[in-house]
Amino acid sequence: MLHKTLGNNKEIMNKSSVALLILLLFVIDQAIKIYVKTHFYYGEEYFVFGLDWFRLHFLENPGMAWGFKFGEGYLAKFVLILFRFVAVIWGTFYIKKMIREGYAKVFVICAAFIYAGALGNLIDGAFYGLIFEKSDPAVQNVAEIFPSGGGYAGFLNGNVVDMWFLPIIDTRLPEWLPFWGGNQFTFFDPVFNTADVWISTGVILLLIFQSQQKKDQKISENKKLKYTEGNRKIINND
């Protein structure tokens, strides 16, 4: 359970600051996606700063974050988009609640990161099919935005644009290794987008600070217990 303060940190954020942070994160995510969609053909790859392990690799994902899928077909995609929509609506009210009740600044920031990421991927699935030309890997075309012939899919049936690929380890496993010997091993393998980064950052920081909060509470409770026991001894000696 999240509490209103973390240790001595009693800074809180107002609605304008939170809205500005969410807007900034959302714009960064959408700007990168639109640039990649309109400048790369499907499957095209670019080595950032010439680094082999830091790449832009354009793919489109019909499913969830980090390339995972939520079943197949229109129904599965519709359920996923509906889930994202409900999550964003719920997140709107929850962030308002956090601000109103004076939650610690760090928790509100974490929630804003998660919210911005969810909103970014929701927009992809809801509208990208309407406003973009299809990126066809067979012809390696660069998609046009607002094409005269219309988009590649209907409302709520678009794909999420992914682009970040970080194969920090890319090697072939030794033959003597049981089960996986001789197989190609890549870490980190999934291609993801900036919205996924926002969501993961928010969740990870939330877990870290929540764990720290529990430690601080335990230390505070132990101090109170020692103080109470010390007072009892003084009273008994008297």
Q: Kindly name the residue from 52, 136, 189, 196 that is annotated as catalytic.
A: 196
Nearest-CA neighbor of 126 among 157, 152, 84?
157
Residue type, 237: N
Residue carrying structure tokens 């700007």: 31
213: CB partners within 8 A, 6+ apart: 2, 3, 6, 7
79: CB partners within 8 A, 6+ apart: 70, 71
Q: Determine whether 162 is an active site residue.
A: yes
Cα dihedral 92→191→64→21 (10° resolution): 0
**Interior/surface letters 82-111, b for 16+ CB within 10 angstroms, e for the rest:** eebbebbeebeeebeebbeeebbbbbbbbb
3-state secondary structure of 198: helix
Q: Please, are residues 153 and 42 in contact by the beta-carbon 8 Å criterion?
A: no
Q: Kindly name the residue from 52, 124, 136, 162 that is annotated as catalytic.
A: 162
Q: Determine whether 124 is an active site residue.
A: no
Hey, which residues are catalytic here?
A: 162, 196
